[in-house]
Amino acid sequence: MKMLSLVGARPEFIQAAPVSRALRRQHREILVHTGQHYDYQMSQTFFDELGIPTPDYNLGVGSGMPGKQTGEIMARLEEVALKEVPDLILLRGDTNSTLAGALVASKLHIPAAHIEAGERSFDRRMPEEVNRIVADALADLHLCVSEKGVRQLAAEGITQTAHFVGDVMLDAMLSNRPLAQRRASHILTRLQIHPRQYALVTVHRAANTDNPHRLAKIVEVLNQIHEPVVFPVHPRTRQALANLGATFASHVRLCEPVSYFEMMVLEENARLIATDSGGVQREAYFFSVPCLTLREETEWTETVAAGWNRLVGVEPARVLEAWQTVTIPPHHPPLFGDGTAAQKIVALLEQDEIRYGATDAQRRMHSPIIELLGSIH
């Protein structure tokens, strides 16, 4: 089979590594990088460390307003899809790249599979929530990281195409953990921190960075913490902090975005993690590190139910109370599978090969857009 595999942002790069390895044993993968995350620390470092194949196409879209960014990805991806005529488009997560890929696949009548399907925060003010809903509505195959995702899709009427495969981010963590420990432990020395004697913070969601009132509260909280705080600053967040005129106490150690291996080391050795990132919430769970989520909702409710994640929002009193009383739960159930999600994904794609593996001629028969363009040329 020939599959067009779409990536554009940090979690998608991490997810791509194990899936690409499994796919390329028997199938052809056309890897397309949308350029949604484009600087070295947010993009290329992941390709370098994880051994992700060099993209066949880089759409070079870059940052921008959501509508413009999504539209640019669609326009450029459509050209690639028309040229390559893949049997399947493989989507990941909940980014603008995911949304654009789902729309292009639907418009061109190309089957689509969605990795990380079925996750819901039930807050449509979040752009990621809208992206997830649209991608799942248009996808032909739904690959869920947990049983909860399967149940939520069933509640929306999607049953036969939904499968629990586990989380490919767990696959990536398990395979890369020893290498990260060997290559990136220097990050602790560089930042002058010690295992279990610091907190790790990440903030990048628009709900926090684009709202000066919320961002100011996060700054207030961090300045009141009585332990070292390591804060790798996302480019969007750095600009928002500059606009706010934020200043930090000496125990808050701001740094540039770190590599995947460095982030793994920081996560594994933290006493606790405070974040608004869905990916970091899961990685905290993988490493059995308590997490405080700086949001009022999360799509990863199973980590909350298990006691490893607390929704704390940004109100200083609430965050500080949780920060000071966080404990290690007695149980750590395998919510996200066993680390073999990539193999299960490929097996499901092969199982549906008859449906996905139409010839170019057959696909053109069923695709008015491709047929029309073919007649023009």
| 4 close to 84: Cβ distance less than 8 angstroms | yes
Residues linked to residue 58 through DSSP beta bridges, in sequence order = 33
Q: Are strands 291-293 and 272-275 parallel, antiparallel or unpaired?
A: parallel
Longest dimension (CA), the chain: 69
Report DSSP state, residue 232. E
Distances (CA, A) of 97 to 62, 114, 326: 11, 12, 36
Instruction: Report d(CA 35, CA 218) in Å as an integer.
Output: 29
Instruction: Report d(CA 70, CA 77) in Å as an integer.
Output: 10
107 Cβ contact list (under 8 Å, min separation 6): 78, 369
| 313 close to 241: Cβ distance less than 8 angstroms | no
Instruction: Report d(CA 321, CA 325) in Å as an integer.
Output: 6
Q: Give SS3 for 157.
A: coil
Distances (CA, A) of 184 to 22, 54, 181, 194, 196: 26, 23, 6, 14, 17
Residue in the structure block whose two tokens are 């480019």: 235
366 is catalytic: no
Half-sphere exposure of 360 (CA within 13 A, CB side): 7
Q: Which of 114, 204, 226, 332 is catalytic?
A: 204
Instruction: Report d(CA 116, CA 149) in Å as an integer.
Output: 8
Helix (H) or strand (E) holding 324, with range, is: helix 316-325
Helix (H) or strand (E) holding 100, with range, is: helix 96-107
Instruction: Report d(CA 215, CA 217) in Å as an integer.
Output: 5
Please give the single-letter amino acid code of residue 224: Q
Catalytic residues: 204
